[in-house]
Structure 1
């Protein structure tokens, strides 16, 4: 299987200019390294009717092309179940009955971030396990034997993050993102992952899980986000941030694309022209502030 990069949106609504900028970057990274570029819809539990079609339309409109058909997570349950079964057979999982509130209120290790799992259900005896099974369904957690893990990122260098006993399958039966993304990337031959840098803290968990499943860890590049004037991640509430909203305000798709390229120090026009000038080393490292009337580096 040849190497590949990817863009993997969740079909929870229209893509905004921050999503589109990341998609352009993922495309540029892949095409500049002679990789295939794949599109995966991460629709395990956040799908909104009609959103996928609009997202695909908008990606095509700005010039992002992909190879082969679109893969959807909703149809990949057996692959996820097989991975969890392998971990169970190796003694690397356990049942967890904690609620989100109980986890948030539980004391954690001094180095662990708020919400890191403190191991409450890790060592339940048989009687405790049977009782808890009678009270609520269980989630499946990884029994991690490390507290942290280091990944190498093209833009951030070595990054070490906390690895707790994270969820593999939720108590409603839905596969957790951290497992699904590792399994999907491996199954699709994806060896380059370009995404927003808000996802960097969870990457050590995914890389560690890949090592347990004997899956090669991909090359990572976590790119700066597009933010509003308050420095918060861009969202629909920030006004005209989708192609449809901007079109209604008189801003063409081409103009949006050219603004996004300019924010990366790349020439205007079709993405193929930007590809000739693309150099990851020269990419901005800071968030980019967007406004419908224009944007400026933060």
Structure 2
């Protein structure tokens, strides 16, 4: 639709330049705003300043009539609130009507995580006498050791790893960077892979690159490739669970909290902008503490 082209363009530039938003984030903002523009066109609203609380309620009713989840509606509202905050700042509108609209309460899903026994089986399944086995072991160790996202793991370069300090520089969402430490097991697996298996894999490609994790042809692994590797490891370990790279991130956070790490530290290690994102893991800590209490307190 041709209306509001300039406003949309200015907002996109704001997200790119001032907010350092990732292309993925910008895509969702644009999609949410576009659906709102389509609604305004259908309602005959030709000025963004005409939108008020009543218009927003009609918009929300339509969203729920489409059987959209509360999570999706909440995301749309959040996108539009940010959009109108920008419009207000640029004096395109005089007020932000989305400020008075509360986000729908969402059921917070309990993140899936692996128990220590399940992890141990995965750690012993790779044949580390082969280049691919060394790679798989290093991949598993670093994902669990750092809790990084699969998109961050894909971008990892040799220069990002500091073996002398035992830290890795992770390039996160929105161009944010963070240093995360890793332990002895991850270090040994990474060193073995980088010094041996990775060189063997790289020889299969006629190109040079500094990406840490390579596929069987010597090219950088894709997120789908990482998921496939984990699926095969689970199959080889004869586990009856479905494991994703993100589940290792959940496991990383859950195990740290269960062992006494504070929430703020885990937030920083995960690269979460808001503490509320990290708090989804506290349910496991509460269960863990309850079990300790019930098993230890004399009058439990």
Structure 2-normalised TM-score? 0.24
**Higher RCO structure (Cα 8 Å, ≥6 apart):** 1
Q: TM-score, normalised by structure 1?
A: 0.24
More helix by share: 2
Which structure is larger by alpha-carbon Rg, 1 or 2? 2
